[in-house]
Amino acid sequence: MAFKFNMLLCMAMVASMAFHSSAQVFTHVVGDTAGWNKPSIPTLYADWAGSQIFEVNDILKFNFKTGEEDLGEVSKQGYDQCNNHGLVNYIKEGPANITLTEPGPHYFVCLVGDHCEAGQKLNQMKRFANKAKIYNN
């Protein structure tokens, strides 16, 4: 009888831990220590995003200096063409936090000079997990 009770208690604890860990919000620092700056390697942000798994309510933290960089959330066309097409959100003061309120593609670019053309753009939805599903874009 005690064994069954202990087993039931153990299962309840494991279920509780799984529930709490899936509800946690994670802050992703975009580019890690490189921050959100004109990259010396054009694939820096694509490589960074490929190593992440994002979930609804996670936060993207873009570390940049006000006046040197900015952040535009744009359409796929704006992302592909490095312009402000479909501009949804524009932030010119850093650092900036963006909460992922829904799964699916989100596109971010720097609109300063040629920074986007140099690779300062992010499609962070390469790996988006929501309820154990991975959405590949």
CATH of the domain at 52: 2.60.40.420
Residue 107 lies in a domain: yes
Question: In terms of residue numbers, what domain contains 77?
Answer: 26-135
Residue 4 lies in a domain: no
Residue 30 lies in a domain: yes
- pLDDT(137) > 70: no
Residues 6+ apart with CB under 8 A from 124: 28, 30, 49, 52, 54, 60, 100, 106, 108
Q: For the segment 71-117, what is each residue's pLDDT rounded down to a tens digit?
A: 999 999 999 999 999 999 999 999 999 999 988 889 999 999 999 99
Compute the radius of gyration of the chain from its Cα atoms: 19
- pLDDT(23) > 70: no
Q: How many domains does the chain have?
A: 1
Please state the separation of Cα 80 from the chain's center in Å: 18
